[in-house]
Amino acid sequence: MQSQVKAKVEYSVVMWDRVIEKRSILLRRVLTLAGKSRKAMQTTAKSVNQHSSMRPLPPQSMTMGIVWVSQ
């Protein structure tokens, strides 16, 4: 039973990472289309990367991520 729960949590963490990854890719595309300067893109990419590397995730954002993915 416990191993099933653990696998589920690990899976949702991977899914949450993918959600953040997709968002950052979209964000970069939007910025490129908007014709922002290269420096602005770099700082945005930096802040996005910092956000995705935050570990461990707080429980609240964790559940939000799972809900967002499962919808």
Residue 21 pLDDT greater than 60, yes or no: yes
Residues in the chain, total = 71
Residue 36 pLDDT greater than 70, yes or no: no
- What's the confidence (pLDDT) of residue 25? 79
pLDDT digits (tens, 9 = 90+) for 46-71: 665 555 554 555 555 545 555 555 44
The confidence band for 28, taking pLDDT boundaries of 50, 70 and 90, is confident
Integer angstrom CA distances of residue 15 from 7, 19, 59, 66, 69: 12, 6, 15, 8, 7
Number of domains in the chain: 1
Q: Provide the residue range defining the domain that includes 57.
A: 2-70
- Residue 24 in tokens: 């950052």
- What's the confidence (pLDDT) of residue 69? 54
